[in-house]
Amino acid sequence: MANQNFNTFNTAATTDQAFDAGLRAHMVRVYNYMASGLALSGIVAYALMATPGLQQIFFTMGMTRGGSLVAVGPNLLGWIAILAPIGLLLLVSFRAAQMSVGSVQAIYWAVTALMGVSLSLVLSHYTGASVARTFFVTAASFAALSLYGYTTKRDLSAFGKFLFMGLIGIVLASLVNMFFPSGTMSFIISVAGVLIFSGLIAYDTQKIKEQYAEAWGQDVSEKVAIFGALSLYLDFVNLFQFLLSFMGQSRD
In this prediction, residue 203 has a pLDDT band, given cuts at 50, 70 and 90, of: very high
In a domain, 11, yes or no: yes
**92: containing domain:** 2-247
Going by C-alpha positions, the residue among 77, 76, 103, 80 that lies closest to residue 91 is 103
Amino acid symbol at 160? G
Average pLDDT over residues 181-201: 90
Among 142-146, 175-179, 240-244, the range scoring the smallest mean pLDDT is 175-179
Higher local confidence (pLDDT), 60 or 139: 139
Q: How far apart are CA 85 and CA 182, in angstroms?
A: 27
The predicted pLDDT at position 5 comes to: 53
Q: Give me the DSSP letters along 12-33.
A: HHHHHHHHHHHHHHHHHHHHHH
Number of domains in the chain: 1
Q: 59 forms bridges with which residues in the sheet?
A: 74
Percentage above 90 pLDDT, the chain: 42
Q: Answer whether residue 174 is part of any domain.
A: yes
Kindly state whether residue 170 falls inside one of the protein's structural domains.
Answer: yes
Instruction: Centre a 10 Å sphere on the Cβ of residue 194 and count the other Cβ atoms it contains.
Output: 19
Report the pLDDT value the prediction gives residue 13, as an integer from 0 to 100: 55
126 phi-psi bin (left φ>0, alpha ψ -120 to 50, beta other): beta
Q: What is the DSSP letter of 51?
A: -
Beta bridge partners of residue 61, listed in sequence order: 71
What sections of the chain are H helices per DSSP? 2-50, 52-55, 76-95, 101-123, 128-151, 157-179, 183-215, 221-247
For the beta carbon of residue 138, count every other beta carbon within 10 angstroms: 22
Q: Which of 6-15, 37-46, 152-161, 218-227 has the highest mean pLDDT?
A: 37-46
Mean pLDDT for the stretch of residues 213-218: 67
Sign of CA dihedral 106, 109, 111, 117: negative
> In this structure, is residue 138 part of a structural domain?
yes
Overall average pLDDT of the 218-244 stretch: 89
8 A C-beta contact, residue 204 and residue 232 = yes
CA angle at 40 for the pair 216 and 235, rounded to the nearest 5°: 60
Report the C-alpha gap between 112 and 60 in whole angstroms. Answer: 22
Mean pLDDT of the region 180-193: 87
In a domain, 252, yes or no: no
pLDDT computed for residue 6 by the predictor: 47
Distance of CA 205 to the CA centre of its chain: 12
Residue 142 clears pLDDT 60, i.e. is over it: yes
pLDDT higher than threshold 50 for residue 149 = yes
Residue 232 is predicted with a pLDDT of 96
Helix (H, G, I), strand (E, B) or coil at 84: helix
Pick the closest to residue 30 from 205, 183, 184, 177 (CA basis): 205
With left for phi above 0 and alpha for psi between -120 and 50, is residue 71 left, alpha or beta?
beta
Most confidently predicted of 18-22, 49-53, 134-138, 211-215: 134-138
pLDDT at res. 207: 92
Is the per-residue pLDDT at 4 higher than 70? Answer: no
pLDDT band at 64 (very low <50, low <70, confident <90, very high): low
Q: Per-residue confidence at 74, pLDDT binned at 50, 70, 90? A: confident
Rounded to whole angstroms, the Cα distance separating 193 from 245 reads 11
Model confidence at 39, in pLDDT bands (50, 70, 90)? very high
Lowest mean pLDDT among 97-101, 130-134, 169-173, 215-219: 215-219
